[in-house]
Amino acid sequence: MSGSETLTYGGGEWGGDPADEPSLTIEVHESDLATVTYRPAPEGLGRFYLGYQPRDYYDDPAESEPVDLAGEAEAFAAWAAEVGHDDVQPGEVRALLAEEGVEDPQDVFVEETVERLLRLVGLPVPDALHDADLG
């Protein structure tokens, strides 16, 4: 992917309505960071990052709020159960989340991390991500 791409899962399919619950929206930015927003989520949770956190990527703390990584991992594992994949462990999710202050993300291209997250929760990889030009 070049530039930015938004992938939305709602109503049981990619390209669905993000107002449906459960829903998942993934915004990939320049193959470096992805913003993951999911619903339903407990109050104060429902958004995390893969690759870099925006506050680190843009070297500006105002770009994103601090992330409760443990809370998001647990809430997203519960979200996965809601979409029918009830054996996802919070630790598996937590291992994929962008740490604050990361200098070298796990994967060169964040699309690879997004794909691993989707496979973890049993969702199909959308064509837009699978066919991404990683480089």
Rounded to whole angstroms, how far apart are CA atoms 39 and 13?
14
| AA identity, residue 45 | L
Averaged pLDDT score across all residues of the chain: 92
Cβ atoms of residues 97 and 70 within 8 Å: no
Q: 């691993």: which residue's tokens? A: 116
Rounded average pLDDT over 44-62: 96
69 lies in some domain: yes
Cα 120–chain centre separation: 11
* pLDDT per position as a tens digit, 18-31: 899 999 999 999 99
Specify the number of domains making up the chain.
1
74 lies in some domain: yes
* pLDDT per position as a tens digit, 95-135: 999 999 988 998 999 999 999 999 999 999 998 876 655 44
128 lies in some domain: no
Domain extent, residue 10, equals 4-123
Residues 6+ apart with CB under 8 A from 13: none
